[in-house]
Structure 1
Amino acid sequence: MTASMVLAGGEFLTRVNSTLPSLGETDRRVIETMLANPEAVVRGTVTDLAARAGTAQSSAVRTCQRLGYRGYQDVKVAITRDLANQTQNSSELAHEDGIDAATSASEIVERIFRRSGRALIDAAGTVDADTLSAAIERIATANRVLVIGNGTSAAPAHDAAYRLQVLGIVASAPPEVFAQHLGARHLDPGCVCLVISHTGASRESLLVAEAARAAGAYVVAITSFVSSPLTRTVDGVLVAGGPEYGFRLEAMASRLAHLAVVDALFVGVAVRRPQTSATALDLMADVTVDHSL
């Protein structure tokens, strides 16, 4: 593991420099804690930050707001972006697992795959079995399922909708945010909205979750953090995410964990309705043959 980077510039540091003179002692302590280890901010929670700064969680959140952010998640995003820009502007690019230009291809495969496997093992311990069971039951009996994912969560969302369609479930994953919001407004108590979001702070995904709840649908989230605006909105939370690996890019390891949860939902729903699933899978096999040379 490389030493923690120091912010040399960027949006977050600019806001700090312009705001710090007007802040009190507690705010200064929280900011100094963030600047001392910005990568810990990216990886951790606001509770972790408050503990390191020796203050209350509410005080840490207020510090973020005094810097002009809506909350801690916005600070995480800003620092992540600033660190990524620093890395891209640096003359040397170093991976956290010690991978550099001299590392052989076989070593890269071994190290990256080992990291990915560890991320899945870690995530298996955070998924709540009761919530997973409830989600399987709701999806298996739903009139239709709306799957939402934006940014890096778009691909897992599309995969989830496709897998549910394979089982004969009416499911969709609209790629456009207006279509997502409209789809949520058309849901009813017999429907399910599955929201996949790494941070749980995506404005578009949160808006859809709120609309789906208001429509009476059961809303379940697959996300990486226990506490976020999304987790405070939905009916059920499936937390599957670990430390981020790589060139400080959000959601690389977590995306694997989220896909694993999607796979668990797929298998759970399939065995929950075996006859229907068997028929649907046979149809899928026929379609596959039609598209094979």
Structure 2
Amino acid sequence: MRKIIDAHMHLDQYSDLDIRRIITDLDRIQCTNVISVSSHLDSCRTNLALSQKFEQVKPAFGLHPEQELPSDTEIETLFSWIADQHKEMVAIGEVGLPYYLRSEMNNDARFPIEGYIEVLEQFIKYAKKWDKPIILHAIYDDAPIVCNLLEMHSIEKAHFHWFKGNTATTQRIMDNGYYISVTPDVLYETEIQTLVRQCPLEQMMVETDGPWQFKGKFDGQMTHPKMIHASVSMISQIKEVYLAETYRTLHNNTFEFYKLDK
């Protein structure tokens, strides 16, 4: 059996037609579940509705960091909604720090990074309170900051999605027992291939981050969970682990991490 789970995608960002196509395809491609992460309150509401309509969809609720911070009132409204619905989610996410947004502003000293850190810490506290995993957008220089917060609050279940960072930070993530996930760019990005070599298969998942699009053999294609099969094959080659074992380990990692029931 070559079962897969898409450990991180934005299903709510697809058109209704494409959502139906993806859901219809899941059994055929042996994708048992998709973890659909949220970007803001409306996104949370949509992902909740999708999970109620399609049993394969497991929602995570959060606030994507690569956007302007909402007002204090909007943030409190989001936190209040998540508190009311937290039993319906499998994780807090997607949350983290705005690496790309800050980079676009040439790391302007006036960028309000402290506000993003405060919001992230509140999400971390909620993950701890509700005993939920946390899905993180934390790459390069931001990752050590996030690790500091996770360690401060004794977080045990953290998923660094599409992680990129130096060897020392990667090792820190592994030593803490956290997980990273790999997208289809593992087929052509040497940086990601190097990451796969460093990380134990037992602390790895696979994702698409759809609808984000990829290059190489997937250039111009709508991002679909079926692309994960190519990722698993490449991971198997890099790790020099039998393909069947690679499938089994990656699926079990995600299934157990998110406490999925089907």
What TM-score do the two structures reach when normalised by structure 1? 0.28
* Structure with higher RCO (Cα < 8 A, 6+ apart): 2
What TM-score do the two structures reach when normalised by structure 2? 0.30
